[in-house]
């Protein structure tokens, strides 16, 4: 088992603590494999009634996946990146279909891959430290790990807004939107975990008892604007709506979109549109794996990681440079199903 995970059993609870604090607990392949192994073992163990997922020390629950590795792989043959995506998405699907209750404590930064392992959980606990986002458009990736399933099912066009802008939500906003099921002060988390370990059949009551009144959720005051300006599934129409407004909020969001990869923004809009109609989560994973297998080798992802993560000049040179340059033919090539022997498949046990 990797040292980047702390796997425990206490009473009737299986515990998974992400333990990679210097990387804000970003997931790597060994971590995904280790979590899968633990979950599969507990699924067949009648002594384990529920699972807790949290993190060890540090300021984040999980900042995402191993982006640097993905970019290095994408610049070569992409095989290592595909292996990571295939395993990570199997983990996401396993959690989504897991028969026993899972409690995810989203205390701190919860982004990308962290969203993928918290959103499938039956209980999702936010705190005053929670910072939730799907920021992939800023590095030329796309909101994967099930983003195409979760985001279009949020209120109105909020999911599309989050996918395009990478906006960060606090814990109160997560609760208001249903991304979190409970809001607890961080100082109550240890008590919550201890009480759940003693009474795994009373998780809902324990979290409800320890919940605090969340502050005002700022995003709810902008729902009408989000629904109006982000109404279209055509990216150019969203930009035109924002550009036609002199509202300060619209100007700010238009400026934000100006920093994002046009390719990725169009991929995200199509992903969410099709994701809203997916028959099940496994079908979503099949599509996202096909998208990921291609996007990870395209210029924008490699360039985005260079500009924002490696060299940090924050000046990515996107190609195509404009939304108009991202043609339907290009999108079709990214979304095309993989050959049968290369497609993503769920775990069989």
Which amino acids are annotated catalytic? 65, 113, 136, 144
Q: Is 313 exposed, middle or buried (0-12, 13-18, 19+ CB in 10 A)?
A: exposed
Please give the Cα distance from 242 to 230 (Å, whole number). Answer: 8
Strands (E), 95-143: 102-106, 109-111, 123-126, 131-133
For 165, half-sphere exposure in the C-beta direction (CA atoms, 13 angstrom radius) is 24
Question: How are strands ordered across the β-sheet holding 60-62?
Answer: 60-62, 109-111, 131-133, 169-170
Where do we find the tokens 């360039």?
303
Please give the Cα distance from 287 to 301 (Å, whole number). Answer: 18
For 113, half-sphere exposure in the C-beta direction (CA atoms, 13 angstrom radius) is 26
Q: How far is CA 102 from CA 10, 14, 209, in A?
A: 15, 9, 18
Rg (CA), the chain: 20
For 182, half-sphere exposure in the C-beta direction (CA atoms, 13 angstrom radius) is 25
Sign of CA dihedral 169, 173, 174, 179: negative
β pairing state of 50-55 and 102-106: parallel
Tell me which DSSP letter residue 143 carries: -
Please give the Cα distance from 161 to 307 (Å, whole number). Answer: 23
Tell me which DSSP letter residue 27 carries: B
């Amino acid at each position: 088992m990797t040292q980047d995970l702390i796997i425990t059993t206490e009473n009737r609870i299986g515990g998974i603590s992400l333990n990679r604090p210097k990387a804000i607990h970003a997931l790597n392949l060994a971590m995904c494999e280790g979590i899968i192994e633990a979950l599969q073992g507990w699924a067949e163990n009648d002594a384990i009634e529920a699972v807790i997922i949290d993190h060890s020390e540090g300021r984040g629950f999980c900042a995402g996946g191993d982006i640097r590795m993905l970019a290095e792989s994408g610049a070569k043959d992409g095989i290592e990146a595909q292996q990571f995506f295939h395993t990570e998405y199997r983990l996401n699907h396993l959690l989504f279909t897991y028969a026993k209750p899972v409690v995810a404590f989203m205390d701190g930064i919860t982004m990308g891959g962290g969203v993928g392992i918290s959103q499938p959980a039956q209980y999702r606990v936010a705190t005053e430290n929670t910072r939730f986002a799907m920021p992939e458009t800023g590095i030329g990736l796309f909101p994967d790990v099930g983003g195409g399933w979760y985001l279009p099912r949020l209120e109105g066009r909020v999911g599309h807004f989050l996918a395009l802008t990478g906006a960060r939500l606090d814990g109160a906003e997560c609760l208001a939107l249903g991304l979190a099921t409970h809001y607890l002060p961080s100082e109550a988390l240890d008590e919550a975990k201890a009480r759940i370990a003693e009474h795994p059949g009373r998780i809902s009551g324990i979290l409800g008892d320890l919940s605090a009144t969340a502050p005002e959720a700022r995003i709810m005051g902008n729902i009408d604007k989000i629904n109006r300006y982000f109404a279209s599934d055509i990216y150019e129409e969203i930009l035109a709506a924002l550009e036609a407004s002199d509202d300060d909020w619209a100007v700010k969001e238009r400026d934000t979109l100006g920093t994002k990869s046009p390719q990725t923004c169009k991929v995200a809009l199509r992903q969410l549109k099709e994701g809203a109609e997916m028959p099940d989560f496994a079908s979503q994973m099949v599509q996202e794996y096909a998208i990921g297998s291609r996007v990870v080798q395209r210029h924008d992802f490699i360039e985005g990681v260079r500009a924002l993560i490696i060299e940090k000049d924050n000046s990515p040179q996107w190609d195509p440079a404009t939304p108009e340059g991202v043609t339907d033919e290009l999108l079709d090539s990214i979304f095309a199903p993989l050959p049968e022997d290369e497609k993503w498949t769920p775990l069989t046990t």
